[in-house]
Amino acid sequence: MSAVFEARAKLNLSLDVLGKRDDGYHEMKMVMQSVSLCDEVELDLRPDVEIRLKSNLRYLPGDERNIAVRAAKLFFDEFGITDTGVDISLKKRVPVCAGLGGGSSDAAAVLRGLADLTGIRPAGDELERLGAKLGSDVPFCVYGGTRLALGRGDELENLSPLPDCRIVICKPAFSISTPELFKLLDVKNLRCHPDTAVIIGMLSEKNLVEVARRMYNVFEDILPRQYGEVSVIKSRLLDCGALGVVMSGTGSAVFGLFETENAAKRAFDELRGSYKDCFLTEPTGNISIQ
């Protein structure tokens, strides 16, 4: 039995870090949004217990170093499935190490897809809780939509959807290491925080312009100088008419929100000449499984 599942990229409309936790992680407050840009995850159940992975990116590991393989193993272990394996075929489109949740979303799609193919109906937030064992962004990626993420990023609350808009995502050639950037962060020294409550209020008022204007990511404040290209891309998106621009997660991808398809297309055409990883996409609601 096989099927293809979408692993949608995630964006941080806002990202705040409130403090360091006793477990070494940080306490987060983020407004998360899924978008139509996605990887494709094909799952083909096997009559043995092997878990195999191949992808269109040759350098991605096909063993347990890959979070999608760990997701499959966790799913089979958790639900006591001892007579089934899976071939995972990843078609990667979301750039890796970009702050777009590509790997997390692949893992989430494996959890969702295996539930679908094996006929297991997880109760409530069971898949999200399973996802939290794999990584902080995996729970959000299970169903996506527009949500507030608290705690490590794994405590989720539904928000009003981001109003209809177009989004241009652009990643500079370099990547930024998430653990390294967290290490540079000293919450006491942050000069500015997003007003998350106001952003949530503007979402419920369907006020795209005010959401876009208030997007903010505290990591931008501490970006080492060698990552100056992030600001260059932000300026270019704003010059092209973006309502607001911000870096996603720990970067290095940046995105801008646009009111119309035409405006977004102009920005996309302008930037894709300079950047290989440039995408025109749109927000998506949460995925419901039967």
Query: Measured from the CB atom, is 28 or 98 closer to ligand C5P?
Result: 28
Query: Measured from the CB atom, is 113 or 135 closer to ligand C5P?
Result: 135
Is there a catalytic annotation at residue 137?
yes
Residue found under tokens 């949740």: 101
Read off the tokens for 30: 């983020």
- Single residue of 102, 153, 251, 283 touching ligand C5P by CB under 6 A: 153
Q: Establish if 26 lies at the interface with ligand C5P (CB under 6 A).
A: yes
Rounded to whole angstroms, how far apart are CA atoms 154 and 140?
7
Query: Measured from the CB atom, is 79 or 182 closer to ligand C5P?
Result: 182
Do you find a cis peptide bond into 204, omega within 30 degrees of 0? no
Is there a catalytic annotation at residue 188?
no
Q: Establish if 178 lies at the interface with ligand C5P (CB under 6 A).
A: yes
Closest approach, Cβ 185 to ligand C5P, in A, equals: 8
Nearest residue to the partner ligand C5P, using Cβ: 136
Read off the tokens for 208: 């795209």
Rounded to whole angstroms, how far apart are CA atoms 152 and 69?
22
Scan residues 122-141 and list those touching ligand C5P (CB under 6 A): 135-137
Which entry of 16, 39, 137, 154 is annotated as an active-site residue?
137
DSSP class of residue 283? B
Read off the tokens for 105: 């979303």
Contact 109, 7 (CB under 8 A): yes
Q: Establish if 25 lies at the interface with ligand C5P (CB under 6 A).
A: yes
Query: Measured from the CB atom, is 90 or 132 closer to ligand C5P?
Result: 132
**Across the chain, where does the E strand assignment appear?**
2-20, 26-46, 51-55, 85-91, 146-151, 155-158, 166-171, 216-217, 244-247, 254-258, 277-281
Closest approach, Cβ 17 to ligand C5P, in A, equals: 8
Scan residues 49-88 and list those touching ligand C5P (CB under 6 A): none
Annotated catalytic residues are 10, 137
Q: Interface with ligand C5P by CB under 6 A: which residues? A: 25-26, 28, 135-137, 152-153, 178-179, 182
